[in-house]
């Protein structure tokens, strides 16, 4: 007797298609997750994110890095109470933060500069930016500062605002603030301080830097791959 080839029943075919769709969706979500605002916690050894919210939705991150027995911060968050709670959860005392590197003067990046009483506040060129009248140290373009074996280099990257800067830490961690905001960068409230072309120019410059591996953003979390960041933002 001839054996006929068994055909897969329709339910099996449907199940395979559904399974494939679920796998594709899961993979897409996993990739997309990389650009989400990071939950408060330790991202990798010695590197921490604090997340703040607005109207119940995640709004942005600021970051902390261990430097010897102390910490340095990149920006100072959007909500003072949430920032304080975030530090508590991380077990980091604000007193142990010795430096805060501000990427630009916008309220959602500076809410807690007053919290870090022992820290030197570092900025880019704050002339005409409306930066509050508090002691701060303006870094020059390309300047490097060392803290307990951690080096922080400042790069002037005007575009989002005139005073926007990025920081490259130990040659491989890049903190960009709002060098990118959204894919299309809608006009900001103050168009005089905004230059989309300059911003794009500086994005390309910063992402082309040799040695940079990780990109930390103000509102899109952490990119563990510069290549992915370039694909997404350039």
By the criterion CB under 5 A, which residues form the site for Zn ion?
A: 108, 178, 218
Q: Which residue number, 54 or 137, has a Cβ lying nearer to Zn ion?
A: 54
Q: Which residue number, 150 or 220, has a Cβ lying nearer to Zn ion?
A: 220
Q: Which residue number, 79 or 108, has a Cβ lying nearer to Zn ion?
A: 108
Strands (DSSP E) along the chain, which ranges?
A: 41-44, 47-54, 57-67, 70-74, 97-101, 120-123, 137-138, 144-147, 150-156, 165-169, 173-177, 214-217, 222-223
**Residue 60 C-beta: closest distance to Zn ion, Å:** 6
Q: Which residue number, 70 or 160, has a Cβ lying nearer to Zn ion?
A: 160
**Residue 104 C-beta: closest distance to Zn ion, Å:** 8
Packing angle between helix 196-207 and helix 226-233, nearest 10 degrees?
Answer: 160
Q: Which long-range contacts (CB under 8 A, 24 or more apart) does 17-24 make?
A: none
**Residue 18 C-beta: closest distance to Zn ion, Å:** 40
**Residue 103 C-beta: closest distance to Zn ion, Å:** 8
- Residue whose structure tokens are 């010695």: 46
């Amino acid at each position: 007797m001839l054996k006929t080839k068994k055909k897969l029943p329709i339910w099996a075919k449907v199940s395979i298609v559904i399974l494939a769709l679920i796998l594709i969706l899961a993979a897409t979500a996993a990739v997309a997750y990389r650009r989400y605002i990071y939950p408060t916690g330790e991202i990798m050894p010695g590197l921490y994110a604090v997340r703040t919210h607005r109207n119940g939705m995640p709004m942005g991150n600021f970051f902390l890095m261990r430097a010897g027995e102390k910490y340095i911060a990149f920006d100072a968050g959007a909500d003072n109470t949430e920032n304080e709670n975030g530090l508590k959860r991380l077990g980091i005392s604000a007193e142990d933060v010795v430096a805060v590197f501000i990427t630009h003067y916008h309220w959602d990046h500076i809410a807690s500069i007053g919290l870090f009483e022992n820290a030197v506040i570092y900025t880019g060129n704050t002339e005409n930016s409306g930066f509050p009248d508090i002691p701060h140290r303006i870094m020059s373009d390309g300047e490097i500062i060392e803290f307990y074996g951690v080096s922080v280099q400042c790069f002037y990257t005007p575009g989002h605002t005139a005073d926007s800067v990025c920081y490259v830490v130990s040659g491989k961690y890049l903190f960009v603030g709002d060098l990118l905001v959204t894919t299309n960068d809608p006009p900001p409230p103050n168009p005089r301080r905004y230059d989309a072309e300059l911003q794009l120019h500086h994005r390309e410059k910063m992402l082309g830097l040799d040695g940079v591996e990780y990109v930390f953003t103000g509102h899109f979390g952490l990119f563990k791959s510069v290549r992915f960041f370039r694909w997404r933002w350039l």
